[in-house]
Amino acid sequence: MSIAMLGLRGVRKSYGTNRVVCGVDLELTSGECFGLLGPNGAGKTTTLRLALGLTDPDAGEIRLMGHAVPRQAREARLHVGVVPQTDNLDPDFTVFENLLVYGRYFGLRDSEIETRIPPLLEFAGLEARADARIQTLSGGMKRRLSLARALVNDPALIFLDEPTTGLDPQARHLIWERLKRLVAGGKTILLTTHFMDEAERLCHRLAVMDRGHIIAEGSPQQLIVRHIEPQVVKIYGDGALAWAQQHGRKLCERCEQAGETIFCYTHDGDRVLTTLDGREELRYLHRRANLEDVFLKLTGRDLRD
Amino acid sequence: MRAQHLTPPRVSKRFVQVWKRNFLVWRKLAITSMLGNLADPMLYMLGLGFGLGSLLPEVNGIPYITFLAAGTVCYSTMNSATFEALYSAFSRLHVQKTWDAILNTPMSLDDIVLAEALWAASKSLLSGLAILVIIWVLGLSHSPFTLWIIPLTVLIGLTFGSLGLVMTALAPSYDFFLYYFTLVITPMVLLCGVFFPVAQLPPLLQNVSAVLPLTHAIDLARPLVTGRAPHWAWLHVLVLASYAAGGFYVALVLTRRRLLT
C-alpha cells in the first residue's frame, strides 16, 4: 500500500522580486526514491526547506508525514531525517557524541540512542572511528556520518540535498550503495542532485526543476522516451562544425553545438555514421540517449551560477 | 521583516537539549575555561584594589577593594555572557552551522535562542560564583546578603546574553563585534560605577549611566556586598529584566529573519 509521505500543492515562494519557487506540486509515496533534478539556482534547496517547514510559503499547501507544514512542522520533523548539502557535524564532538547529542534533539533517551549507535556506525563504515574527532575524518567519512546522523531517529523519510557533491568516485559509489540499502529496507528518500548518473541509478521517479517550475516528471526511462530521440552521435575534432553545416541538420532530428562538439539526436544513428566513414579528422561516439541529454534539452546548455 | 518573524516566542521543553549540548562542550574544557573566567577579573580586582586602594583608603565609606569587588562581580558576569553570546554563539550560528543542523530536528529556532541566552547566563553564574568565592576567602564580606548576588549574576547574564544575541543575529563576521565593544561594553565599564562612584561623573554622563543596565546591576550588588538591602531593589530588577526580555525578543526576531527566510 502506498501512503503519502510528502505532498506539495501549488507552493510558491519569492524573495523580493525573485520568484524562487513558482507553483510546485509534488507527491511522494512510501518506499520510493524520488529525485529532484535541476541546475544551480533552480529552487531545489528552497523546496526542501519549504517541505521541512524551515521557511513559510507565500502560497500553497504542504503536508509532511501527515502533518500540515509549517504549522505542525515540529511533529512532522520527528519522523524525517535530513542530510544537508554541506556537512554541519559538530566539530566540538567525537563521532559517537555527534550521534548521541543529535538523538537527544529528537527527545530520545540516552540509553535508547546508545543502543542505536553501533548499528549506525556499522552502516556508515565508521565502527573503528567512534571516538575520532570530526576534523580527522575524510570527506567521504563525514558524509557517511551525516547520513548516519540523519538515521538516528529511525525516520521513515530521508531528505538528502546533493548527497555526493564533492566526493571522489569511490566515496560516491559507497553512498549510492548505502542509499539503495535504505530503500530496500523500506525507507522513502527525497534527494536533490545535478548528477544524472546518480539520479538514473537510484531514483524510481524524478522531477526536473528549472527557474522555480517543475518542467518534467516521470521515471528515468519515461523521461528519456518522452523527451528525447533514442540515439546520440557526439562528433568532435577539426571539421566537426563544417560537417554539421553540411550534413548535420539533414541527417538527424536535432543537431546541437556545445563548444567544438556536435550532438546529433536521432532515431537512426547509422545514417549519421555512414557520412562519418573515412573522415579521419572527425572523432565520434555513438550511444543511447541518457538522462543527461534530457536534462540539457529541458534546461538548456547555458551556464548557471 | 515578515509578520511571522514578529510572533511571540514559542518554546518547547526540548530547549534543554541545546543547553546540554553547550554544557557538554564546556565540560571538556572546563578547567582552562574556569581559569580564564577567574584570572582576568582577579587581576583587576587585586591589582587595582590593592594598588589604587592604598592611595584611596575609603570610597563611600568602605575600603576601595570592597567597593571594587561589587563592581567586578557585575563587570565580569557581563563579560562572560557577552563573550558567550557574541563569539561562541556566532561560531555555532555562522561558522559551524550547528543551529542549522539542530533546525532539521523537532527543535525550533525559538528553542535554540532561548537555550543560548540561558547558556550565556550559566556562564555568568559560573564567573560570578568564582568572584564571590574570592570575596568570601579574602574576607571582603561575610554578609549573608552576598548570597543574593547568586541570582543577580543570572539576571545580569540573561540581560547581556540577550543583548549579545542581538548583535550575533546581525553580525556578518567576527569583526562586527568590535563596534559593540567600543560603543556599548566599554562605556558600560567606565560609566556604570565599576571603578568609581557614578556620582563623580558630570551630570550629563550620570544621566547616560542611569539608563545603562550595568548601573542597575551594580546598584544592587554594592549594598549586598556591604551587607545592606539595596534601595529601590525592585526598580533595578525591573530595568534589568526589561533589557533581558526586550533583548531576547529582538534577538529572536532578527535571528528568525536571518535563518528562516
Per-residue pLDDT tens for A191-223? Answer: 999 889 999 999 999 999 999 999 999 999 999
Question: How close does chain A come to B97, measured CA to CA in Å?
Answer: 6
Domains identified in chain B, total number: 1
A211 shares its domain with A238: no
Strands (E), chain B: 58-59, 62-63
- Whether residue A305 is predicted with pLDDT greater than 70 in this model: the reply is no
Q: Which residue of A has its CA nearest to B2?
A: A56
* CB–CB contact A89 B101 (8 Å): yes
Q: Which residue of B has its CA nearest to A86?
A: B97
Per-residue DSSP letter, A94: B
Q: Are A93 and B25 in contact (CB under 8 A)?
A: yes
Cβ neighbors of B172 (< 8 A, separation 6 or more) are none
A273 shares its domain with A200: no
- For B107, the domain range is 3-259
Residue A239: per-residue pLDDT: 84
- H or E element, residue A87: none
Domain boundary among A197, A221, A245: A221
A38 shares its domain with A181: yes
The answer as to whether A18 is a domain residue is no
From the number of C-beta atoms within 10 Å of its C-beta (0-12, 13-18, 19+), residue A25 rates as middle
Residues of chain B with pLDDT > 70: what percent?
100
State the pLDDT confidence band at A2, using cuts at 50, 70 and 90: low
The answer as to whether A92 is a domain residue is yes
Q: Are B232 and B148 in contact (CB under 8 A)?
A: no
A35 shares its domain with A162: yes
Q: Which residue of A has its CA nearest to B100?
A: A88
State the pLDDT confidence band at B111, using cuts at 50, 70 and 90: very high
Residue A304: per-residue pLDDT: 65
Q: Are A208 and A216 in contact (CB under 8 A)?
A: yes
From the number of C-beta atoms within 10 Å of its C-beta (0-12, 13-18, 19+), residue A75 rates as middle
> From the candidates B2, B24, B104, B108, which should be mutated to test the interface with A, based on the most A CB atoms within 10 A?
B104
Block residue for cell numbers 501512503? A3
State the pLDDT confidence band at B1, using cuts at 50, 70 and 90: low
d(C-alpha A100, C-alpha A92), whole Å: 13
State the pLDDT confidence band at B33, using cuts at 50, 70 and 90: confident
- Amino acid in position A121: L
Q: What is the pLDDT of residues B214-229, one digit of tens each?
A: 999 999 999 999 999 9
The answer as to whether A302 is a domain residue is no
* CB–CB contact A56 B4 (8 Å): yes
A150 shares its domain with A256: no
Cβ neighbors of A222 (< 8 A, separation 6 or more) are none
Q: What is the pLDDT of residues A117-170, one digit of tens each?
A: 999 999 999 999 999 999 999 999 999 999 999 999 999 999 999 999 889 999
* CB–CB contact B105 A105 (8 Å): yes
d(C-alpha B133, C-alpha B131), whole Å: 5
d(C-alpha B155, C-alpha B161), whole Å: 10
Question: CA dist A137 to A95, A268, A289, Å?
Answer: 9, 50, 39
Q: Which residues of B touch A (CB under 8 A)?
A: 2, 4, 12, 14, 17-18, 20-21, 24-25, 28, 96-98, 100-108, 259-261
Q: What is the pLDDT of residues B250-260, one digit of tens each?
A: 999 999 999 99
Residue A253: per-residue pLDDT: 87
* CB–CB contact B106 A92 (8 Å): no
d(C-alpha B174, C-alpha B158), whole Å: 21
Q: Which three cell numbers stand for residue A241?
A: 562544425
* CB–CB contact B96 A75 (8 Å): no
Give the residue, A111 or B30, on which the prediction is more confident. Answer: A111
A198 shares its domain with A127: yes
CATH of the domain at A275: 3.30.70
Q: Is the peptide bond between A70 and the residue preceding it cis, with omega within 30 degrees of 0?
A: yes
* CB–CB contact A101 B21 (8 Å): yes
CATH of the domain at A140: 3.40.50.300
The answer as to whether A10 is a domain residue is no
A134 shares its domain with A213: yes
Question: How close does chain A come to B107, measured CA to CA in Å?
Answer: 7
Q: Which residue of B has its CA nearest to A109?
A: B17
Residue B222: per-residue pLDDT: 96
Please give the span between the terminal C-alpha atoms of chain B, in angstroms, as a whole number: 10
Helices (H) and strands (E) in chain B, counts: 12, 2
- pTM for the whole thing? 0.93
The answer as to whether A2 is a domain residue is no
Per-residue DSSP letter, A133: B
Residue A166: per-residue pLDDT: 87
Computed over every residue of chain A, the mean pLDDT equals 93
Q: Which residues of B touch A93 (CB under 8 A)?
A: 24-25
Q: Which residues of A touch B (CB under 8 A)?
A: 15, 52, 54-56, 74-75, 77-78, 80, 82, 84, 86, 88-93, 97, 101-102, 104-107, 153
- For A165, the domain range is 30-51+73-221
Domains identified in chain A, total number: 2
Q: What is the pLDDT of residues B53-82, one digit of tens each?
A: 889 878 988 999 999 999 999 999 999 999
The answer as to whether A34 is a domain residue is yes
Residue A23: per-residue pLDDT: 95
Q: Are B132 and B147 in contact (CB under 8 A)?
A: no
- Whether residue A257 is predicted with pLDDT greater than 70 in this model: the reply is yes
- Whether residue B142 is predicted with pLDDT greater than 70 in this model: the reply is yes
State the pLDDT confidence band at A34, using cuts at 50, 70 and 90: very high
Residue A31: per-residue pLDDT: 95
- H or E element, residue A146: helix A139-150
State the pLDDT confidence band at A72, using cuts at 50, 70 and 90: very high
Residues of chain A with pLDDT > 70: what percent?
98
Block residue for cell numbers 544575541? B165
The answer as to whether A61 is a domain residue is no
Look up the ipTM and state it: 0.92
φ/ψ region of B48 (left if φ > 0, alpha if ψ in -120 to 50, else beta) reads alpha
Q: Which three cell numbers stand for residue A17?
A: 522580486
The answer as to whether A160 is a domain residue is yes
- Averaged over A258-275, what is the pLDDT? 88
> From the candidates B13, B105, B107, B111, which should be mutated to test the interface with A, based on the most A CB atoms within 10 A?
B105
Q: Identify any residues that bridge with A11 across adjacent strands, giving them in sequence order.
A: A24
